[in-house]
């Protein structure tokens, strides 16, 4: 054993403080890196993974959701839109349903998600909000047949 | 930074923490500053860097926080064990080394697809029951403190319950994955094999009087059943069964009554009958001696603690104040030496491990992986809660180990296996798929 110096109460105190400070620094480090990569694929339940869910949908022959355009700046009224998998509605050209020309719609406005229990719509933090039958939705909402969904200046009606 | 880069950086910080902890202990003991702690920190880091390299090769997309948190926990555990008994700490260090080897071996063996384990689910179920049964076999098992936990094979001794817990989780993950849909509909006959294996495990545990394991395995069973079926009714029914069973056990076993009495009334003003020596004693001097001394130990730590290596665990003539301090009661030793601030950090480390584990379960892509990760994480969480809660008098005390920290080889190795499972599941969940 190589003796470097005699320890005193002060060095012990410094060590104790260093230990505690470093321990909390370590925790903060882990928490910060841990919160960075949260997210990923949204999943329906803790048991059903995305792959399992897709397989189940295929097996039970899930019906695609059919919408009719009521009024829209960029789409032809009366035209039909089919949504067979989770899809984003927005002004972004890469959106599943692109609302190019609708100035009131956000880039990524809302998500339409057909699930075994029905068609869900979720607002993705849009500027002007998402409305169902004129009523603004908080986060997620299950649509009924005949419901009118308003995204920006675009109105879509759910058909059976 | 990638997950592996964060992991390596975290391991370096964890090794510095381990080195600092050991330096405090040696310095408080010998009043000399020596370079030993530095050598130790370097060796500690080398061991975990070896583990890191294996993870990099076998599971490059695995979660990057689990291994550093484990390293920090074992680092604190080793320092506190060293402070309490230097010889045992060397043995513990050897167990951590073996644990890392087991982790590496598991990762290498199962690197292609751990899901092959699902096809051996019944084998795991039966093996779990057999392992739990081992300590009750005459000639093999040994009774320590009225509990049959240990198995002796020649010079080796181990606690099979720790391994049995992981096998039980593997069985439940495989079985519940297969029967999830029919179970969710509540058809009673489908519960047959499940209840058979689980009931056998419980019978064995009650026979060995190991109440901590019984509580732990029952909790894991209920949590995994809930995760698989999503039906709160099953949990309610299970809790009802638990309350019923606990009441029966309370009536039937003196041991359970004593545990509850100690928990609710550790102190008495009058002398009561003491079963240990047959005389009338104050309860704090007899049945609840261990718990009361442990509470005093925690209180002595205060906010900032006495400092590592400076706590009081023996009387002036060198007698140990708290029996089983290094295994069941290590939390009260830690709480005294690093205080509320430090032990809160320790609990935070456990919570980080649990949060990461649950996240692995959320991200996993198939039912078996999800159930496996959720079961392993919940088992880890419940075990920590049962022993820390017991020491802090939140729940009745049942002796089980504090994961990665308590002295004990079986526990260390089993928890490294658990870590290997979580790393494998998270690697598979995070592998980028070609669109």
Percent of chain B with pLDDT over 70: 91
Q: How far is B302 from chain A (nearest CA, A)?
A: 14
- Confidence bin at B368 (pLDDT 50/70/90): very high
Q: What is the DSSP letter of A119?
A: E
Give the C-alpha separation, A51 to A54, whole Å: 5
- The torsion of the CA quartet B416, B420, B422, B426, rounded to 10 degrees, works out to 150
Instruction: Please give the residue of chain A at the shortest CA–CA distance from B374.
Output: A46
The answer to whether B352 contacts A38, with C-beta atoms less than 8 Å apart, is no
- pTM for the model stands at 0.79
pLDDT tens figures, B41-97: 999 999 999 999 999 999 998 988 999 999 999 999 999 999 888 888 898 999 999
Half-sphere exposure of B294 (CA within 13 A, CB side): 28
Instruction: Please give the residue of chain A at the shortest CA–CA distance from B361.
Output: A46
Q: How far is A134 from chain B (nearest CA, A)?
A: 34
**Closest Cβ–Cβ partner in B230, B352, B371 for A30:** B352
Q: Look-up: residue for tokens 């982790």?
A: B103
pLDDT tens figures, B308-346: 888 888 777 777 777 777 778 899 999 999 999 999 999
For residue B141, the model assigns a pLDDT of: 67
Mutate to test the interface with A, among B366, B429, B430, B434 (most CBs of A within 10 A): B366
Q: Please, what is the Cα angle at B399 between B220 and B315, to 5 degrees?
A: 155
Q: DSSP assignment of B24-36, as one string? A: HHHHHHHSEEESH
Q: How far is B434 from chain A (nearest CA, A)?
A: 14
Give the C-alpha separation, B70 to B349, whole Å: 9
Query: Average pLDDT of chain A?
Result: 78
For residue B29, the model assigns a pLDDT of: 80
The answer to whether B366 contacts A45, with C-beta atoms less than 8 Å apart, is no
The answer to whether A27 contacts B345, with C-beta atoms less than 8 Å apart, is yes
CB contacts of B365 in chain A (<8 Å) are 49-52
CB contacts of A20 in chain B (<8 Å) are 304, 338, 341-342, 345
What is residue A71's three-state secondary structure?
strand
The answer to whether B20 contacts A15, with C-beta atoms less than 8 Å apart, is yes
B54 interfacial to chain A (CB closer than 8 Å): no
Q: Are strands A87-90 and A80-83 parallel, antiparallel or unpaired?
A: unpaired
Residue A74, burial from CB neighbour count under 10 angstroms (0-12, 13-18, 19+): middle
Among A130-134, B17-21, B204-208, B275-279, which range has the highest average pLDDT?
B17-21
Q: How many A×B Cβ pairs under 8 Å?
A: 127
Interface of B with A in 246-275 (CB under 8 A): none
Listed residue (B96, B91, B114, B88) closest to B18, CA to CA: B96
| pLDDT at B104 exceeding the cut of 50 | yes
The answer to whether B20 contacts A13, with C-beta atoms less than 8 Å apart, is no
Give the C-alpha separation, B308 to B20, whole Å: 10
Q: Look-up: residue for tokens 């480090």?
A: A29
**Closest Cβ–Cβ partner in A19, A33, A41 for B17:** A19
Yes or no: say if A50 and A40 are a contact pair by the CB < 8 Å rule. no
Listed residue (B222, B220, B205) closest to B131, CA to CA: B205
**CB under 8 Å to B36, separation ≥6 — which residues?**
A1, B22, B26
Is pLDDT larger for residue B114 or for residue A37? B114
Listed range (B172-186, B197-211, B264-278) with the worst mean pLDDT: B197-211
Interface of B with A in 340-359 (CB under 8 A): 341-342, 345, 348-349, 352, 355-356, 359
* Backbone phi and psi for residue A155, each to the nearest 5 degrees, phi listed first: -120, 125
The answer to whether A16 contacts B363, with C-beta atoms less than 8 Å apart, is no
The answer to whether B65 contacts A30, with C-beta atoms less than 8 Å apart, is yes
pLDDT tens figures, B171-198: 999 988 888 877 777 777 777 777 777 7
């Amino acid at each position: 054993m190589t003796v470097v110096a005699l320890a005193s109460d002060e060095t012990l105190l410094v060590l104790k403080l260093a230990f505690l400070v470093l321990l909390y620094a370590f925790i903060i480090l882990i928490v910060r890196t841990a919160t960075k990569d949260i997210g990923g694929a949204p999943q329906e339940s803790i048991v059903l993974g995305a792959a399992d869910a897709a397989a189940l949908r295929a097996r039970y022959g899930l019906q695609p959701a059919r919408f009719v355009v009521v009024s829209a700046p960029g789409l032809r009224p009366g035209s039909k839109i089919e949504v067979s998998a989770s899809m984003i509605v927005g002004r972004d050209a890469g959106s599943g349903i692109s609302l190019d020309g609708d100035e009131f719609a956000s880039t990524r406005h809302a998500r339409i998600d057909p699930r075994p229990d029905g068609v869900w719509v979720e607002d993705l933090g849009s500027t002007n909000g998402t409305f169902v039958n004129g009523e603004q939705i908080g986060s997620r909402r299950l649509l009924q047949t005949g419901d009118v969904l308003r995204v920006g200046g675009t109105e879509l009606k759910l058909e059976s | 930074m990638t997950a592996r880069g964060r992991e390596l950086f975290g391991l370096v910080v964890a090794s510095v923490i381990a080195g600092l902890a050991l330096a405090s202990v040696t310095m408080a003991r010998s009043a000399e500053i020596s370079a030993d702690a530095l050598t130790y920190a370097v060796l500690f880091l080398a061991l975990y860097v070896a583990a890191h390299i294996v993870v990099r090769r076998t599971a490059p997309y695995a979660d990057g926080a689990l291994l550093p948190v484990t390293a920090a926990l074992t680092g604190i555990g080793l320092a506190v064990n060293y402070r309490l008994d230097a010889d045992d700490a060397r043995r513990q260090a050897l167990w951590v080394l073996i644990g890392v080897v087991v982790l590496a071996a598991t990762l290498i063996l199962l690197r292609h697809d751990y899901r092959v384990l699902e096809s051996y689910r019944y084998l795991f179920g039966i093996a779990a029951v057999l392992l739990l049964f081992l300590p009750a076999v005459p000639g093999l098992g040994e009774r320590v403190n009225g509990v049959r936990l240990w198995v002796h094979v020649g010079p080796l001794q181990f606690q099979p319950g720790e391994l049995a817990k992981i096998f039980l989780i593997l069985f439940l993950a495989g079985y519940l994955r297969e029967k999830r849909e029919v179970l969710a509909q509540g058809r009673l006959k489908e519960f047959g094999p499940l209840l058979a294996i689980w009931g056998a495990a419980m019978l064995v545990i009650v026979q060995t009087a190991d109440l901590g394991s019984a509580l732990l395995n029952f909790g894991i069973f209920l949590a995994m059943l809930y995760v698989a079926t999503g039906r709160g009714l099953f949990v309610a029914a299970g809790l009802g069964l638990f309350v019923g069973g606990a009441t029966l056990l309370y009536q039937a076993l003196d041991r359970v009554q004593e545990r509850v009495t100690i928990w609710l009334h550790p102190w008495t003003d009058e002398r009561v009958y003491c079963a240990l020596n047959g005389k009338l004693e104050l309860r704090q001097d007899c049945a609840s001696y261990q718990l009361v001394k442990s509470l005093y130990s925690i209180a002595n730590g205060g906010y900032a603690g006495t400092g590592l290596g400076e706590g009081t665990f023996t009387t002036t003539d060198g007698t140990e104040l708290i029996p089983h301090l290094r295994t069941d009661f290590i939390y009260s030793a830690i709480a005294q030496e690093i205080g509320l601030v430090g032990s809160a950090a320790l609990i935070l480390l456990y919570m980080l491990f649990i949060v990461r584990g649950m996240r692995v379960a959320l991200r996993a892509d198939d039912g078996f992986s999800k159930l496996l990760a959720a079961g392993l994480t919940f088992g880890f969480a419940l075990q920590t809660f049962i022993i820390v809660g017991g020491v802090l008098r939140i729940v009745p005390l049942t002796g089980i180990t504090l994961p990665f920290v308590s002295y004990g080889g079986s526990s260390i190795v089993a928890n490294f296996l658990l870590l290997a499972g979580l790393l494998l599941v998270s690697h598979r969940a995070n592998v980028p798929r070609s669109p």
